[in-house]
Structure 1
Amino acid sequence: MPIDRHQATGLYRPWQPPSFDEAENRRDQPPAGAEAARQGVQLPTVEELEALYEQSRREGFAAGHEEGFAAGRAEGLAQGQEEGRRQGHQEGYAKGEAEGRTQGEARARAQYEAQWQQRLALAASLIEGLEHLAERTRETLAEEIAALAVEIARRVLQDELRTSPERIVSLVRRLLEEDGAPHLTIRLHPEDLPLVREALEAELAKGGHRLVADAAIGRGGCLVESDSHVVDATVPTRWRRLVARLWPESANWEEETDVPDDGGEGTP
């Protein structure tokens, strides 16, 4: 009959060295096995002891396996969590770094484009302002140049009329030919009248024209009057027409002097 380890434990006692005093007394006592056999106690056999050992080993193995499994599982779980955390941290860091770099580059690109657009707008505004300034400068210069040219021409003509007063003769002759009407009244500056009468005596007599001295008429100009119309060939009027034809922007220019213009210029 097999016995468990608890029953077997009571059959064995720890060994102690015998006392020399008790050796003689025990010499006459029967052996423990003989006493046990005499009392009817059956000792385990070798096979039973081996079976008991194997059972204890298996139970110890099972208990150790369970404990080791639990400890290994806990340690493996902890290591797995740590490894997973480390790998997750690395992957998350790499992914976060890549996304952060992409977002940073996109943000920097957007900021750069915004700044570039602002600079382009500023440059366009500056260019437009410079163009307007250049246009105003050109207009101002054109007006100043035109005024200067008018003034130079006026002074040249003044000098020409002073040195060549006979130009009034060619003016009156041309007006008579273009008008063609008889009995015209021609108003002249008092100093120009003798020149015209002497040079155009025949033409005046043929057409029945009349010369009238008028101090209000500047030298070099005249007024031609008929019953139906008046031709203003005075210097200021002819000068304004000439300036308006050459420089339309200076059409409002007015002559400041009554010095006659070139009698051969323009058509009244």
Structure 2
Amino acid sequence: MSLEVFSGTSIPRELTTAAMEYLWAKWKTLYATGDLTLQRLTEESNYPLRDRLVFLMTAGDDFVYTYVGAEIQRAIGRDRAGSLLSTSGNPMRGEYARVYRKVADDLIPACLRYTLPTTQNGKIWQRLILPVPIADTAVCLVVYSELIDHHKEVYDQLFRTAPDAMVVACPIANDVGHTKDGWVIMMNDRARDMLGFTRSIGNLRLSEIPQFAGVDVWGRLYGPNVSSGLIPVPSANFDIELMRFPHVFGLKLRPRLPQRISDNVALVPSLA
């Protein structure tokens, strides 16, 4: 089975979000007090639960979707309400069914973690399955799903500790659309060292960084003939390599190599 399944009285805490913790604690409280109903469990709260919920009713050996939240619809590409799990076309439907059946039979919640076999991005989903008895033979499964995306924290760490000095900015354009400056949105540790910059980047423009005060090259970024070479910065000991992206632009600060003596000083003729 490609699912990681946790069943019983606890759920894994290392990836659990506040919304999932809330729903789990609410189910335990309602179950213990005998007040567990579908309405009580899923009524509005401060967390965006409804968009991430799916309801499934037991239907013999199968399960039928009775509600699919908007966020789940976007993730799977359609609304499966009214259809059977066995006809969903999901390659993992058999594995889901075995877990759902155990939850429905034992009335014990379960938590799943899994990656989809069709994905190439390595994203992990986690799913909380809560049983709600409806009648003597019917059980509704309340399934809360959310995506665990580690990409941002990995990218942030790699950017922050990269050996190259880099600054990322969002363009500030004039009335005719020419980029004249940029809001700084990212600056890694190496760039801070080179620029001697220690304060927050909040509300910071490139033109407010002393080394960039006299630099006016940002307008070249989105023109038809973008310069591909290094741009000298007269007031600093580095050059700038511009990196253009669809919505932001990057500056890679290249330390300027000292010029060779032969480039600046006439050679003294040797004495015979």
- Shorter-normalised TM-score: what interval? under 0.3
Whose Rg is larger?
1
User: TM-score of the superposition, structure 1-length normalised?
Assistant: 0.20
> Larger % of strand: which?
2
Q: TM-score, normalised by structure 2?
A: 0.20
